[in-house]
Amino acid sequence: MDKPPAPSRRITIVDVAQHARVSTTAVSKVLRNAYGVSPTMQAKVRQAIAELGYRPSAAARGMRGQTYTIGVMLPDIRNPFFAEILDGLNDHLADTDYQVLLGPGCNGEEAEAKVTHAMIDRSMDGMILIAPVSSRAHLEHVARTVPTVVVGRHGRSATYDTVADDDFAGAGLVVDHLADLGHRRIAHIEHHETDPDRLAEMPNAIRADGYQHAMRARGLAGEIDIASTSYTQEGGYLGAQQLLARPVRPTAIFAGADIVAMGALDAIAEAGLRVPEDISVAAYDNTTFAAFRPISLTSVDQAGHQIGRNAARLLLDRIADRQRPATQIKLSPTLVTRRTTAPPPA
Amino acid sequence: MDKPPAPSRRITIVDVAQHARVSTTAVSKVLRNAYGVSPTMQAKVRQAIAELGYRPSAAARGMRGQTYTIGVMLPDIRNPFFAEILDGLNDHLADTDYQVLLGPGCNGEEAEAKVTHAMIDRSMDGMILIAPVSSRAHLEHVARTVPTVVVGRHGRSATYDTVADDDFAGAGLVVDHLADLGHRRIAHIEHHETDPDRLAEMPNAIRADGYQHAMRARGLAGEIDIASTSYTQEGGYLGAQQLLARPVRPTAIFAGADIVAMGALDAIAEAGLRVPEDISVAAYDNTTFAAFRPISLTSVDQAGHQIGRNAARLLLDRIADRQRPATQIKLSPTLVTRRTTAPPPA
DNA sequence: ATGAAAGCGCTAACAT
DNA sequence: ATGTTAGCGCTTTCAT
């Protein structure tokens, strides 16, 4: 029952095999829950593993089989929304032999390429790419090399599965909510996009589409007003400044992301206006801070947890069968109304 | 100049050696910038690598040498403060051959053990543990196995290096600021701790110590008042409720972390009090949301970026020389005053 | 300075 | 059901 005497050399499968008086194959099979081991052997091997405190080397396993490691790439570790997705992932993966490792936050195609390559070099068994901005070609390349699930990006592919939130519908929720309150001049701050792939696939572009579609559906086509900046605090600040300078000022602003709303609130306060009395603000993501009392931001909640769970499930399915046809899952967002939205000034 | 024709088989060092008409040893040496390769050979090999698009397999490298991978364990991916540290890390590591991979957020000793083991199994060349709660014994065990730097936890060890913020001084900054404003009844919400190791080493415990020390130094020993809950939003809510129920209410609350302040603001608002007119609130971490206009929280800023850079530097030093004596680095925090602190009501 | 060859710890054919 | 053995792609002696 005492610990093995300070083993400077790591315990290997050979040690376990000798200790259990069986072959290394037997140990390997037990490790992988593979077919063809008697209960007796199972027991012997498991006991030897426990007694010696053996842990398989992922590097060695990776040379021949799997590494039991799943790589997750996410663009911005600061966005708490991604943490929700990770929780969902881990929920599903906790009971499996797989271990999740995250790439450090990426911004831009170059950084994404570096991380995806690094993960491929490290023989990840599967990869989950969250809201990647890389070209489709790169995504397909990655997915051809290793089982891949792309999260938070629309557009179907034959080589990878996708899980995304219905951003089009989410934008509609915001417009409907504001229009129901009586707003007509509802403006939008979007993340500027020119790349055709991304215009068709990135959530920011879909949200802008959804905004316009919903405005038209409410008979507000003439009121459509978009400030095109970026999904950053500064983007929100500049975007709101632009909108407030219009001849006829909007009575409500739909910011494409919560962080954008933070910048917009700055600009609105500087302009001497009150929220929501003078102007309403709604956003997207329902990040943790949206719920903080001083902020109390009306925001679209993406089912982050569910997104993560589904991504994990799809990935394990694909690892099991790489030929399986690609699946697209689209989840429905909900609107959380708080204190930044109210009827327009009389 | 055309791409190699869709290599289903990954390019190996052998392919490169043949293409360059040299030995695999030569290629390996070039890869590792090892001693004993002529410039001619360098050039030939590098060209072959580029032409074939060769990338070394980390798994295979890990069997004999290094994996060029550094594992980072952090407790809570939602805390933006940790993102600062990561940025600092990446700054220093970007120019090296090392790749950072993060463990998923950990909470509690068990999860930390799982992640640290997973990283050891994956032959990480080094590990950075951010604010770990594990026992010293476990930390020492990890550090004996692989070069390790512990960040955000006090207490010196002979086996691992540490980088921490001076939490004792940081707490003093808060108390001094509030006392300078004229406050006397300055209360503190701490994260409850009983484990002796952690009482001596964890930032939350040191902050509570620093608070008491500073109060005494200002002649406010009699005003010391601590609510012992946890570093969570709920902990802040409950802690503030306790403090507001005192016979003599505090005029200022020092929350041990920004997230704690968010909960405290809830309780204060529910009690019908205004911040900062009726009661001041200051906190610790200067997380991103502390700066958001509706929040504008006075908070202690830890030099997260610098912490990260230093941790990376120490780790590379230790990887280069595992016998080097352990180093402790302590950085100085600063106070960022915003709109949640003001003189006490008259 | 260069190369041949022996492993690293595992998995997977292939026996038995 | 169990064991033997040949690699996986590198790094590292050790010759030359």
Q: Map A253-305 to HEC letters.
A: EEECCHHHHHHHHHHHHHCCCCCCCCCEEEEECCCHHHHCCCCCCEEEECCHH
Radius of gyration in angstroms for the set of CA atoms belonging to chain A, rounded to a whole number: 25
B 284-313 → A contacts, CB under 8 A: 288-289, 292-295
pLDDT of residue A5: 42
The confidence band for B209, taking pLDDT boundaries of 50, 70 and 90, is very high
Q: Which chain A residues touch B120 with a CB distance below 8 Å? A: 55
Q: Strands, E, within A19-102: which ranges? A: 69-73, 99-102
Please name the fold of domain A69-165+304-331. Answer: Rossmann fold (3.40.50)
The confidence band for B189, taking pLDDT boundaries of 50, 70 and 90, is very high
Give B218's Cβ-side CA count (13 Å radius). 25
Nearest residue of B to residue A111 by CA position? Answer: B94
Residue A101 to residue B102, Cβ atoms within 8 A: yes
pTM of the model: 0.92
Domains B13-55 and B167-301 share a fold: no
Q: How far is CA B165 from the centre of its chain?
A: 10
CATH of domain A167-301: 3.40.50.2300
Residue ranges covered by each domain of chain B: 13-55, 69-165+304-331, 167-301
How many angstroms separate the CA of B37 from the C1' of D15? 17
pLDDT of residue A4: 41
Separation between Cα atoms, residue A79 and residue B242, nearest integer Å: 32
Strand D nucleotides in reach of protein CB atoms, 7 A cut-off: 1-5, 7-13
Neighbouring residues of A34: CB distance < 8 A, sequence distance ≥ 6: A28
Token duo for residue B43: 């050039």
- From B90, B117, B294, residue closest to A265, measured CB to CB: B294
Question: Which residue has tokens 């009575």?
Answer: A251
pLDDT of residue A6: 42
Report CA-CA distances (Å) from B186 to A137, B33, B253, B285. Answer: 59, 58, 6, 19
Q: Which chain B residues touch A289 with a CB distance below 8 Å? A: 289, 292, 295
Q: With beta carbons less than 8 A apart as the criterion, state whether A346 and A277 touch.
A: no
Q: Is the dihedral of CA B295, B298, B300, B302 positive or negative?
A: positive
Name the residue with the least CA to C1' distance from nucleotide D8: A63
Amino acid identity, position A300: V
pLDDT tens per residue across span A254-286: 999 999 999 999 999 999 999 999 999 999 999
* Mean pLDDT of the A150-176 span: 97
pLDDT tens per residue across span B292-312: 999 999 999 998 999 999 999
Does position A61 have pLDDT exceeding 60, yes or no?
A: yes
Closest-CA distance, A97 to chain B, in angstroms, reads 11
pLDDT of residue A8: 65
Separation between Cα atoms, residue A201 and residue A229, nearest integer Å: 18
Residue A57 to residue B294, Cβ atoms within 8 A: no
- φ, ψ of residue B4 to 5 degrees: the values are -60, 140
Separation between Cα atoms, residue B5 and residue A333, nearest integer Å: 44
Residue A55 to residue B123, Cβ atoms within 8 A: no
Please name the fold of domain A13-55. Answer: 434 Repressor (Amino-terminal Domain) (1.10.260)
Neighbouring residues of B191: CB distance < 8 A, sequence distance ≥ 6: B202, B204, B205, B228, B229, B230, B231, B235, B256, B257
pLDDT of residue B8: 67
pLDDT of residue B4: 42
Separation between Cα atoms, residue A82 and residue A295, nearest integer Å: 20
Does position B5 have pLDDT exceeding 50, yes or no?
A: no
Computed over every residue of chain A, the mean pLDDT equals: 94
Residue B63 to residue A59, Cβ atoms within 8 A: yes
Give B172's Cβ-side CA count (13 Å radius). 13
* Residue from B76, B101, B145, B233 to probe the interface with A (highest A Cβ count within 10 Å): B101
Q: With beta carbons less than 8 A apart as the criterion, state whether A322 and A149 touch.
A: no
Residue B41 CB in 7 A reach of strand C: yes
Of the candidates A114, A120, A130, A128, the one whose C-alpha atom is nearest the C-alpha of residue A76 is A130
Report CA-CA distances (Å) from A300 to A170, A217, A287. Answer: 6, 19, 9
Separation between Cα atoms, residue B331 and residue B204, nearest integer Å: 16
B 62-91 → A contacts, CB under 8 A: 62-63, 67, 69, 71, 77-78, 80, 82-83, 86, 89-90
Question: Which residue has tokens 């700066």?
Answer: B291
pLDDT of residue B290: 95
Residue A32 CB in 7 A reach of strand C: yes
